Amino acid sequence: MSAIDVVGLTKRFGARTVVDNVSLRVEEGEIVGFLGPNGSGKTTTIRMICGLLTPDAGSGTVLGFDVIKDARKIKREVGYMTQRFSFYEDLTIQENLTFVARLYELPARAKTVADTLAGLGLTSRRHQLAGTLSGGWKQRLALAACIMHHPKLLLLDEPTAGVDPKARREFWDEIHRLAGAGVTVLVSTHYMDEAERCHRISYISYGHMLAAGTVDEVIAAAGLSTFVLRGHADADLMAEVGRLDGVAQVAPFGAALHVVGPDRERLAASVKAYAAAHGLTAEPGLTSLEDVFIHFMSKAA
């Protein structure tokens, strides 16, 4: 059984359609990255999946429950981590977790809170006020609150925004540990390295689902080609290369330029000719997930 299996989800706010006929399937124990630009409908989709918003159209199941009829039951089985830190900053870590444990009416609350603190390395800071925590520790507290009731599905909405690389890596190690124990994870992110740590990704743009699959499948389906132009990369060179036939994107990487386009033959001909005329070298490169992300964004209206 799929943990998430929804078809045609649609949500309107007044005359504006924020999510338009979105379908999504996530298997049990899978980590799926949810990608898309700001305002693309990721958060609205997540809130419909977890029962906080009622779809205007569409159907499906979440953890076997009907996404429309069983919203209350879905909420009990899901851990939802919002974009913004949403806990009481004038309470300690332990007090915040105790409050959450009461909301879920968890048995043996003191032991449950203690075990959760220990599991995420929060015991030594349990008496620290939440408002004094750094971004990484706030993130850890938010994750602790999400998993304390042992949910079968985690919905994480840009959970690592503003967190340093070490804390991000530790967070993702914990996510993979949870997935290994059978927890299903849907996580929205803007970080390409995080998307590449997911089993599969889904890309949404302005309410429409544009692509889904493994990272390799999504990159291949985009049909982009990349060449690396080596030499002195400056703003003038970038501007000139960007105007070449077949070029869709130009990005500097140190002293090199990554040049991307949808037609390999046109791209190769123009980039190689330019390189020969200006004493540069041009060689095939690997198209990245970021290249595909930018490609989708440029196509969207």
Contact 222, 295 (CB under 8 A): yes
Contact 106, 100 (CB under 8 A): no
Q: Which two tokens stand for residue 234?
A: 């400056």
Hey, how many other C-beta atoms are within 10 angstroms of the C-beta on 139? 23
Which pLDDT score is estimated for 301? Answer: 59
Mean pLDDT in residue range 53-65? 96
Residues 238 and 142 in one domain: no
Report the distance separating Cα 202 and Cα 49, nearest Å.
15
Looking at 204, 219, 234, which one is the last position of a domain?
219
Running DSSP on this structure, what letter comes out for residue 129?
B
3-state secondary structure of 141: helix
Which pLDDT score is estimated for 195? Answer: 92
Residues 98 and 112 in one domain: yes
Hey, how many other C-beta atoms are within 10 angstroms of the C-beta on 188? 25
Residues 128 and 205 in one domain: yes
Looking at 186, 219, 252, which one is the last position of a domain?
219
DSSP string, 159-184: TTTT--HHHHHHHHHHHHHHHHTT-E
Report the distance separating Cα 18 and Cα 110, nearest Å.
42
Give the structural domain span for 236: 224-299
Which pLDDT score is estimated for 157? Answer: 92
Select from 220, 286, 257 the least CA-distant residue to 249: 257
Which pLDDT score is estimated for 164? Answer: 84
Q: Mean of the per-residue pLDDT values for the chain?
A: 93
Tens-place pLDDT, residues 224-274: 999 999 987 677 888 999 999 999 999 988 888 999 999 999 999 999 999
Which pLDDT score is estimated for 211? Answer: 93
CATH code of residue 233 = 3.30.70.100
Q: Which two tokens stand for residue 38?
A: 């700001």
Residues 24 and 68 in one domain: yes
Which pLDDT score is estimated for 191? Answer: 86
Which pLDDT score is estimated for 25? Answer: 96
Report the distance separating Cα 75 and Cα 153, nearest Å.
10
Looking at 166, 201, 219, which one is the last position of a domain?
219
Which pLDDT score is estimated for 233? Answer: 67
Residues 18 and 37 in one domain: yes
Mean pLDDT in residue range 124-149? 93
**How many domains does the chain contain in total?**
2
Report the distance separating Cα 67 and Cα 8, nearest Å.
12
Tell me whether strands 57-62 and 65-66 are parallel, antiparallel or unpaired.
Answer: antiparallel
Residue 167's pLDDT band (cuts 50, 70, 90): confident
Report the distance separating Cα 242 and Cα 248, nearest Å.
7
Residues 144 and 32 in one domain: yes
Which pLDDT score is estimated for 68? Answer: 94
Residues 163 and 39 in one domain: yes
Which pLDDT score is estimated for 182? Answer: 94
Torsion angle (degrees, nearest 10) of CA 205, 207, 208, 214 = 60
The lowest-confidence range among 134-138, 143-147, 213-217, 284-288 is 134-138
Residue 165's pLDDT band (cuts 50, 70, 90): confident
